[in-house]
Amino acid sequence: MAISAVATLQPRDSENFLQYIQNPFNTQLTSKAFWSSFGYSISGAVLCATLFCVLRPHNRTLYAPRIKYISDDKRAPPPVSNGVFGWVQPVVETRDQALLEKIGQDATVFLHFTTMCRNITIFLSIIGCGVYIPLNIVENSKNRSSDGSNTFMKFAPYSVGGRACWAYVITSHAFDFVICYFLWTSSRAVARIRCDYFESSEYQTKTASRTLMVTDIPQQYRTDAGVVKLVLQVATAGVLSGAIARHVKDLPELIKTYEGTVRELEGVLSKYSKYSERLPRKRPTCKARDGDEASFAAGSEVDAIFHLVARIQRLAGRIYAARKVARGNEVLPYGFVTLPTMAQAHELAHAVRKEHPYGSKIRLAPGPTDLIWKNLSLPKKSRRWRDFPGHVLVSALIVVWTVPNALIAVFLADLSKLGAIWPAFQAELERRPRTWGAIQGILAPLVTMLFYLLLPTIFRRLSIYAGDFSKTEREKGVARKLYAFFVLNNLIVFSLFSAGWKYAAAVIQAQSNQNLWSAIKET
């Protein structure tokens, strides 16, 4: 692509390219872009932090709802004063063990990971800026090749060469040591967090912690006793209790409606009893819906508290009746096996991790809220067919995003490259360097950031459509897809197109004195 673009350039464009090669980047534009990006990031961070510090003390229910709604001292967050910086002390002093009790394993590991990334960034910044900036200033001053009127160029490695490059090599090894050290210490901390979580009474008393989930069960084993027999074919265990899943029809929708109605009632009661010492004279009202009592027409105003309580009681009765008849419903291709202790369940799951009796799969059961129930009943063949278009769509998305990513790498990240082949735009850059510098420094990272905010949502929906059994499994798949997408587009495509464009520019410089093919070979 780059070579074909070179071949079609006009002589006037070649002159602009020669000017671009003699000055590899517009120093003034690059300087403005850097300071615009730096100012945009710093000002955004300061603004968000200031708004949080000012608004938090006056909106405790919004920023710390667990203090109001959780009465258990073990799970309630630590007390936070109303001062502007009152949140700093609990953040600094709260340790992993306390976080594990209050917010759970996943949130604690996530906070530990972000802390590790923060520490790595701080140490690399201190080491890098402490070595690179003084070295670049000294080398640029020694070689007299930086623009004395441009402070930014004094910091850039514009003319660093020779023995001074050993400082870059040694600092790179220091970077590797810092990253490996924090990865090692964080891995040990995460392993300790997981052990503490597995040893906690909260985990060991859960039924899910001593339960195995069996999927893709063949037809002849789809009974409560059949699930147990299937597991015993590949492992020897003690007393097992099996349960085959059955089609519950509209029970999930009823439960979802029930929970939504309870939350609606809680909201009405919260507003009505906000000032308990003087309740409002007028009780809250709501509109009746289809399916409510026959005495109320749909859309008519009714007493909200009595009406919602009656609706909750009616839904509870329907849920009880649906659960009662579920034992005789159609069986599904998955079930659960419960063991007496958590240790036995983990040992058995580890022993049969590579065993697939009659095509089934045995694993530790995720928590009920972690399961994607509608996918558990999908047959294996259906999941394979659903997974195929997902991979095709991800591959197509990677290919499609290559084009805008290449344009960002070649032009948007450095607008002077576009000016090298567009004389009118180059004149505009020279007239308004501040404006275009701000656009260059902000627009490219902003476009990439917005795209990567949308991308995980797309991958999550594809994973659910493909038949992932749990939200944890779904998030692992999303992380793998994001990693592959990021490495291919941002590391390979971005770098290759940026380097390819510079190569094309070098070919044009060499072409001014010889033919195109000779210039390509020489370059």
Half-sphere exposure of 442 (CA within 13 A, CB side): 15
DSSP 77: P
The residue behind tokens 């991308």 is 455
- What confidence tens digit (pLDDT) does each residue in 225-248 have? 899 888 888 877 677 788 898 888
Per-residue pLDDT, 523:
63
What angle in degrees, to the nearest 10, is found between the helix axes of 433-466 and 380-407? Answer: 170
More confident residue, 24 or 177: 177
Q: Kindly tell me if the per-residue pLDDT of 89 is higher than 80.
A: yes
Helix (H) or strand (E) holding 66: helix 65-69
Three-state secondary structure readout of 331-370? EEEEEEEECCCHHHHHHHHHHCCCCCHHHCEEEECCCCCC
The pLDDT of residue 14 is: 40
42 or 73: which leads in pLDDT: 42
Residue in this structure with the two tokens 């793998």, named with its chain if needed? 480
3-state secondary structure of 26: coil
pLDDT of residue 413 exceeding 80, the answer is no
Query: With bands split at pLDDT 50, 70 and 90, how would you rate the model's confidence at 11?
Result: very low
Least confident among 17-26, 271-280, 480-489: 17-26
Q: 26, 33, 24, 30: which is closest to 443 by C-alpha?
A: 33
